[in-house]
Amino acid sequence: MKWKVHDQRSDADAAGRRLRVLLAALCSVLLITAAACTGGSPSADNGGGNGGGGSGNINAQNANPQTTAFRWGTRAWAASIVNNPYSPTPTPQYNLSLLSLAVVSDWDRPGDNPYYPEIAESWDVGKHSITFHLRTDAKWQDDKPLTSKDVLTAFRVAGIDYNSVWAAISKVDAPDDHTVTVDLQSWAVPENALLHLLQIVIVPDSQYGQFVPSDVDKTLIDYWKTYNILHPTADSISKASSGAAGKVMAENSANLVKYNPKPMIGNGPYKLKSANVSGVLYEKWNGFWDAKKITAPFVQVYPMNTSTEYGALSSGSIELETDNQFSDPQAEALNRKGANTHYVFIPSPVQQVGLVVNFNHYPFNIREVRQALEYVIDRHDLVKRDMGGDLVQNPAEETPDGINYFEAKKYLTPDQFAKLNHYPKDTDKAASLLESVGFTKKNGKWMTPKGTPFAFTISEAAGIPYFDEDGLIIAGYLKNFGIDVKVENVDPGTYTTKQLAGDFAVSQWWMDWGQGPPMADFAAGFGQASSPSWNYPISYSGKGPCKCAIGIGPEADVPGLGHVNIASELNREVNQEPPETWAKYTWAWAQWFNKELPFLPLYNNAFHEAYSTARYTNFPPDSEKWLWTGLTGAAQPVEWMQNGYLKLK
């Protein structure tokens, strides 16, 4: 039975109801629009800015943040943010407000001054000491002067946070309000200590002094003395943690990371105006010594999903993003002629991607097997096929020497480079290497000397798209060669833990650490103190299996160095060898690496960031110099503006 309602009264009532609903909806829309127009919108206004575009000394008071803010998209923060650089969830881009003594702009040390001075105007590097001369016009955003007392507090707070620079320190002092002296241990290399000290965030004593216990210098020095950083053992590390000094540090560091200062008193060009789940707004502070050079009256940081950053950038809704890697088609779209965007691709002096083979998984302990794999993997083809290729990860690893290709060019001579094995794709060579150690081929499949099929699994971290592709492409090369390879995706939350525990036969990761000289990078990979680690730790007692990702050593014959304990020797070089010896040690380890292949280098990852010129123009050129200002913890836009870049349209 169909339902038909013929009630004229109800028809009229229904019509009236509909009309009322429509009117209510229309009023709501108008109300929302009116409120929104007065309430503010973060959408881009491509019509440009107002409030003094293009010239210096723009005042925030005269500017409208909706149309003048420099908008920075960053990964959405997980939970509440805290105005504390030592918290696990610090306010995003707090370095717009809290500066360091200087900004590292170039990792090419020694050489031209690789730093932009900030809080420290200059410094003197002696044989066993460093003297910092602070700016006399630096002050805090509560108008109190920034003095050497604040810098000492900042150093000490960093020490409470287990900053290992304190292992090299014997004394810190402040002869006057604008001078800080740091005396170093006799074995310390001053340039290494300088690098770490300059990057410490300078926090106000008025807020952070409470976390500095009395006699803290002695506490920190005692802790690292017990730790014995030149040759730490499991016993020395344990004693350091459980000793009196260790307990003081643990208690104070636990309190430090929970601290949420309100307000955040900075010393930089921007004052924190508001920070919440919707974004962080920084307002230009005219008390900054270089305020005249700061051309952006506001910086607005937005939490964004990585999948929305591309759209936001290409539509001009944000000016900058620094944490996403786009594919080639996206990069091409951003760089196409006429687009108000630019995709910055800088071959990176860090982040060399490698295939990590575990020596505890047979047959990767056999050198010829590792060499054979390197001959089979076509690295040049890999970068072309992975994520579109050229623009993203070129060039491929030219010569497997354990260091990033661009660092290799600086520390190795062309002759040395030419002498190394370049491992070009050569399946015949790979086959002969396998046969030389007893492998055989049956029905197109390789068999190990034990009579078992040569088969393994490549474990990739889920959620890293190009790693996923790498695994599949490499598996294809090896399968065609006759090795049975599977690829598995592993939860990223547990991947590195399992990797360092040696659970994976073959895995993939970024295998240099941006520590500066190549030896430091070698040491970060092969010279760690304790387990789990990438390789045998310094504290390895010689008993039991290595709970580590690689497992080469613990000793080796290194050309030019002789028979050494890998971890101890690298640790010694990093802490005690002066810069003029770095090239020598780099060549020694490069030869060792090139022959032994403790991991299989694949390609050099590139540094990516992208910006839009919809609202701001005059961005700096693509270069390593500007790359490093971001990588070493500074707020790039600040450095850009202080050096005459970035103008509001």
Partner 1 sequence: MLGYLARRVLMALVTIYVVVTISFYMVRLMPGNPMQYLEAQLQQQGGVSPDQIRQQVEAIYGVMPSGPLWKQYLTYVGNVFRGDFGDSMLNPGQGVLSIIASALPWTVILVGISLIISFVIGLVIGTILAAYPDSTFSKVMTGVVSFLSAVPNYLIAIVLIYLLADLNHLFPITGAYSNNTEPGFNLPFIGSVLYHAALPMAAYVIVSFGAWSLAMKGSVTTVLGADYVRAAEARGLGGRRVTQTYIGRNAMLPMITNLAVSVGYMFGGSVFIETYFSYPGLGFRLISAVNSRDYSLMMGCFILITIAVVVSNFVVDLIYPVVDPRILKPASRKSRLTAPPPQAELPGAEAMNA
- What is the footprint of partner 1 within residues 132-191 (CB under 8 A)? 160-162, 164
| 338 sits near partner 1 (criterion: CB under 8 A) | no
Minimum separation from the CB atom of position 108 to partner 1 (A): 16
* CB of 462 closer than 8 Å to CB of 489: yes
Question: What is the nearest approach in angstroms of partner 1 to the Cβ of residue 128?
Answer: 23
262 neighbors 286 (Cβ within 8 angstroms) = no
Burial of 335 (0-12, 13-18, 19+ CB in 10 A): middle
DSSP 480: H
CA torsion through residues 197, 198, 201, 205, sign: positive
> H/E/C letters for each residue in 516-548?
CCHHHHHHHHHCCCCCCECCCCCCCCCCCCCCE
Q: How far is the CB of 510 from partner 1 (least distance, A)?
A: 6
Spatial distance between the Cα atoms of 378 and 643, rounded to a whole number of angstroms? 43
Q: For residue 92, give the amino acid letter.
A: P
Residue identified by tokens 């070493």 is 632
Q: How many residues does the chain have?
A: 649
What's the distance, CA 76 to chain centroid? 17
CB of 258 to partner 1, least distance (A): 3
Inter-residue contact 649 to 53 (CB < 8 Å):
yes
Q: Which is nearer to partner 1, 124 or 251 (CB)?
A: 251
Q: Which stretch binds partner 1 (CB under 8 A): 132-140, 276-284, 378-386, 430-438?
A: 276-284
> Least distance from C-beta 81 to partner 1, angstroms?
9
- Contacting range for partner 1; rule: CB under 8 A; set: 39-47, 186-194, 418-426, 449-457: 39-47
Q: Which of 421, 489, 496, 576 binds partner 1 (CB under 8 A)?
A: 496
Answer yes or no whether residue 415 interacts with partner 1 by CB under 8 A.
Answer: no
The footprint of partner 1 on residues 541-600 (CB under 8 A) is: none
Of 24 and 418, CB closest to partner 1: 24
Nearest to 198 by CA among 271, 84, 109: 109
Size of the site for partner 1 (CB under 8 A): 92
What's the Cα-to-Cα distance from 22 to each of 17, 297, 355, 518, rounded to whole Å?
Answer: 9, 43, 63, 70
In this complex, which beta carbon is closest to partner 1, that of residue 371 or of residue 499?
499
- Token pair recorded at residue 64: 């409208």
Chain positions 368 to 387 lying near partner 1, rule: CB under 8 A, are none
Contact with partner 1 (CB under 8 A) among 188, 331, 350, 588: 350
Contacting partner 1 (CB under 8 A), which of 15, 36, 244, 418? 36
Q: How far is the CB of 321 from partner 1 (least distance, A)?
A: 12
In this structure, the number of other CB atoms found within 10 A of the CB of residue 630 comes to: 18
Query: Rounded to whole angstroms, how far apart are CA atoms 366 and 359?
Result: 8
Residues 466-495 that bind partner 1 (CB under 8 A): 491-495
The label of the residue with tokens 């809704």 reads 317
Per-position x/- string for 507-526, each x denoting binding to partner 1 as judged by CB under 8 A, each - no binding: --xx--xxx----x--xx--
Least distance (Å) from partner 1 to the CB of residue 539?
A: 11
Paired tokens of 394: 């070129």
39 contributes a contact to partner 1 by CB under 8 A: yes
Q: How far is the CB of 58 from partner 1 (least distance, A)?
A: 17
Residue 2 or 563 having the CB closest to partner 1: 2
Q: What is the 3-state secondary structure (H, E, C) of 370-394?
A: HHHHHHHCCHHHHHHHHHHCHHHHC
43 binds partner 1 (CB under 8 A): yes
User: Which residue has 């909806």 as its token pair?
Assistant: 25
Nearest distance in Å: CB 306, partner 1: 11
Report the DSSP pairing between strands 440-442 and 445-447. Answer: antiparallel
Which of residues 3, 428, 443, 621 is near partner 1 by CB under 8 A? 3
Cβ at position 120, least distance to partner 1 in Å = 21
- Judged by CB under 8 A, which stretch of 27-35, 185-193, 212-220, 405-413 contacts partner 1? 27-35
The smaller minimum CB distance to partner 1, of residues 194 and 376, is found at 194
Q: Which is nearer to partner 1, 152 or 461 (CB)?
A: 461
Give me the amino acid identity at 425: K
Spatial separation of the C-alpha atoms in residues 267 and 246, rounded to whole Å: 31
* Tokens at 45, concatenated: 């206004």
d(CA 433, CA 597): 14
Site residues for partner 1, window 291-330 (CB under 8 A)? 300, 302-305, 307-308, 311-312, 314-315, 317
| Residue closer to partner 1 (CB basis): 44 or 152 | 44
362 binds partner 1 (CB under 8 A): no
Q: Are 537 and 530 in contact (CB under 8 A)?
A: yes
Q: Looking only at Cα atoms, what is the longest distance across the chain? A: 104
> Taking CB under 8 A as the criterion, which residues in 207-236 touch partner 1?
none
- Member of 48, 54, 56, 88 binding partner 1 (CB under 8 A): 88
Report the nearest approach of partner 1 to the CB of residue 626 (Å).
Answer: 15
Question: CB of residue 268 vs partner 1: minimum separation in angstroms?
Answer: 19
Q: What part of residues 246-275 is at the interface with partner 1 (CB under 8 A)? A: 250, 253-254, 256-260, 273-274
Task: Check binding of 9 to partner 1 (CB under 8 A).
Answer: yes
Closer residue to partner 1, CB minimum distance, 270 or 509? 509
Question: How buried is residue 560: exposed, middle or buried, by Cβ count under 10 Å (0-12/13-18/19+)?
Answer: exposed
| Cβ contact 553:526 at 8 Å | yes
The window from 82-90, 125-133, 365-373, 386-394 that contacts partner 1 (CB under 8 A) reads: 82-90
Dist CA 343 CA 611 (whole Å): 7
Instruction: Report the 10 Å Cβ neighbour count for 451.
Output: 8
Among 42, 145, 243, 395, binds partner 1 (CB under 8 A): 42
Using CB under 8 A, which residues numbered 616 to 635 contact partner 1?
A: 631-633
Q: Which stretch binds partner 1 (CB under 8 A): 85-93, 109-117, 383-391, 432-440?
A: 85-93
Q: Which is nearer to partner 1, 131 or 315 (CB)?
A: 315
| Alpha carbons 224 and 623: distance in angstroms, whole number | 38
Q: Which of 12, 25, 76, 244 binds partner 1 (CB under 8 A)?
A: 76
Count other C-beta atoms under 10 Å from residue 33's C-beta. 10
Query: In terms of DSSP H, where are the helices of 173-285?
Result: 190-198, 205-208, 216-227, 234-242, 244-258
Span interacting with partner 1, options 83-91, 108-116, 175-183, 334-342, rule CB under 8 A:
83-91
Instruction: For the CB of residue 502, give the shortest distance to partner 1 in the complex, in Å.
Output: 14
1 is a site residue for partner 1 (CB under 8 A):
yes
